[in-house]
Chain A
Amino acid sequence: MSTPHRGGEDERMPRGGAAVSSSPSLDELRAEAMQWGRAPRARGTWYVTEHMVRAMRAYGWTIVVGAVGQPILYLLGLAVGLAALIQAPIDDGGVEVSYLVFVAPALLMTAAIAVASEEFSYPVVAGFKWRRYFFGFNASPLSPGQIAGGVTAGGSARMLFAVLAYYLFIWVFGAVPDPATGWLSIFVGLLGGLAFGVPYMAYAASIQDDKGQFALVQRFIFMPMFLFSGTFYPLAALPLWLQWIGWVSPLWHATELGRILTYGKPADPIGIVIHLAYLVVLSVGAFLIARRIFERRLSA
């Protein structure tokens, strides 16, 4: 039977540095720790990202089928079905576009948010409670902030994949009249996903006992947001007392930006800034809160 050899002292210092004798003094041990701490301090977030992406492989098939299958189903249903019914062009703030072109950016943004609602919910509670692997991360040199960052980056990687696939499909379906700016909607999708996902992560991190909260979020937050964010018809078509759902919804802000980018919906610069700022503030603000919750929970 072999035992893990201690290795030469060079192996102890993978990134170079002063050699440490076999019975080191406290000064040598301190210097060694300072040396070892450098890489995790600088790159810890990416180590967590690597872990999260690696763990996704366990359900990689679901990710691929979801990313490819969902756009096909929606686009076929809407392009072949609903669009056949709605023959008249949609007038969106002055431009007239087909129903498919109108709805495509909204579907793209919804796809990002749907991925966010998976990646920033269950894996977070699993990390704190069901499997407790965040505590394992935290016992290593990684800090709670890096763990929150890595979970965000890992979820973003999957969102980017889903949005990219979606964008290719709507482009192939002829739903991107302005490809020159349309491709930027991929990044707006990512931002929209984060504006929904990061607050969700903060909430998930604060959950002590799972009492089916995620199912409630799905039914009473995700679904209404999907229906009332100007996804299938312009927000203005709703009575004023329902329009507020759109105003607070990251999906509406992301969709509006997507429409500006994919078919040149007329917009004034201030409006664009407001849409972008709303999404950025929501993402960044929620991240700061999430980080605090991670810190509190991991170092109790």
Chain B
Amino acid sequence: MPEAVITADRLVKAYRSKGKPDFVAVDGLSFEVAPGESFGLLGPNGAGKSTTMKMIGAVSTRTGGDLRILGLDPDQYGPEIRSRLGVVPQQDNLDGELNARENLYIYGRYFGLPGKVCHQKADELLAFAQLEDKAKSKVDQLSGGMKRRLTIARGLINDPRILLLDEPTTGLDPQARHVLWDRLFRLKERGTTLVLTTHYMDEAEQLCDRLIVVDKGRIMAEGTPASLIRQHSSREVLEVRFGSDRNEQVAPRLEAVGDRVEVLPDRILIYTADGEAALERITAEGLEPLTSLVRRSSLEDVFLRLTGRSLIE
């Protein structure tokens, strides 16, 4: 097992504000990321994912615990660590006064790359991001998906050892998301270590080799997507709707049908190894759901189980 490129040990970030108790955004996270691994932080908004990413990105200083990136302490070696990272922030921060190609070129300069190398890398990355025909377009004229791809391309200008992606596909339409996932898969194949936060379980399942489920600054569970589902949920889920006013009322009668029943405002989830069989039993009991759906368990179910809350609220 190669040595971890990121090691967090009881990492804490607290924000002080006058007259109020400290706000603890990250509350003792411990994890390691191996080289070439694709590691995810899954959790709802406000779970502490972005704060953790800023600390890994050697931008925000930790309040407690220990952190090593590429074997270096970010408190002391911020510029050195950042010189080998690629960062894709939650909010795009491209320079709108410059065109797409200039944004890449100038970013390469920050790493001390010679102008000639920056020009060459800018062209390669425009091709990678499928933005060759937008090279001379001002950033403001690009669509949301294009800006995202440009931001990812910018993060690769220094051939980073680790790429940090904070909510890479939030706000994108499904097609743009799939294009982006495809680009990230390619990076993964090339051996780039990816660390990403997301509150989309399908994204985590698609992209992450291993992930931690975070809530309120703490780790709720850790493992591969498949193992987490195996551990914390059943194989299948039967979703039934009886209408929002009847769901609560019907729920007790469904308890015996599956391993576990979860009542949400709009539907009831029945966790079971065999969804179809469960549905047959419900119908046999004379209950007629308005709609029904059998699906495989997902990380969303894991999260619901662990926190009693939905990921997207």
Contacts and interface: CB of A to CB of B under 8 A. Distances in A.
Contacts of A209: none
B2 A23 contact: yes
Interface stretch (A4-12, A158-166, A197-205): A4-12
Nearest to B155: A139
A140 B103 CA distance: 13
A138 B84 contact: no
Given A54-B102, A58-B97, A133-B94, A36 B128 contact: no
A166 B264 CA distance: 71
A299 B95 contact: no
Most buried by B among A23, A34, A136: A136
**What DSSP secondary structure best describes chain B's contact surface?**
loop
Contacts of B85: 139
A4 B22 CA distance: 45
Given A2-B128, A11-B117, A37 B190 contact: no
Nearest to B5: A29
Nearest to A32: B84
B159 interface: yes
Given A26-B71, A50-B106, A51-B109, A141 B82 contact: yes
Q: Which 5 A/B pairs are nearest by Cβ-Cβ distance? A: A39-B112, A37-B80, A36-B83, A136-B93, A140-B110
Given A4-B121, A54-B98, A55-B98, A47 B159 contact: no
Interface residues of A, number: 53
Given A55-B95, A137-B110, A141-B111, A33 B2 contact: no
A258 interface: no
18 contacts: A2-B127, A6-B190, A29-B5, A29-B71, A29-B161, A33-B72, A33-B84, A34-B80, A36-B111, A47-B112, A59-B97, A131-B93, A131-B94, A133-B94, A140-B83, A141-B78, A141-B112, A143-B79
**Interface centre among A38, A48, A131, A300, by most B CB within 10 Å?**
A131
B60 interface: yes
A111 interface: no
B145 interface: no
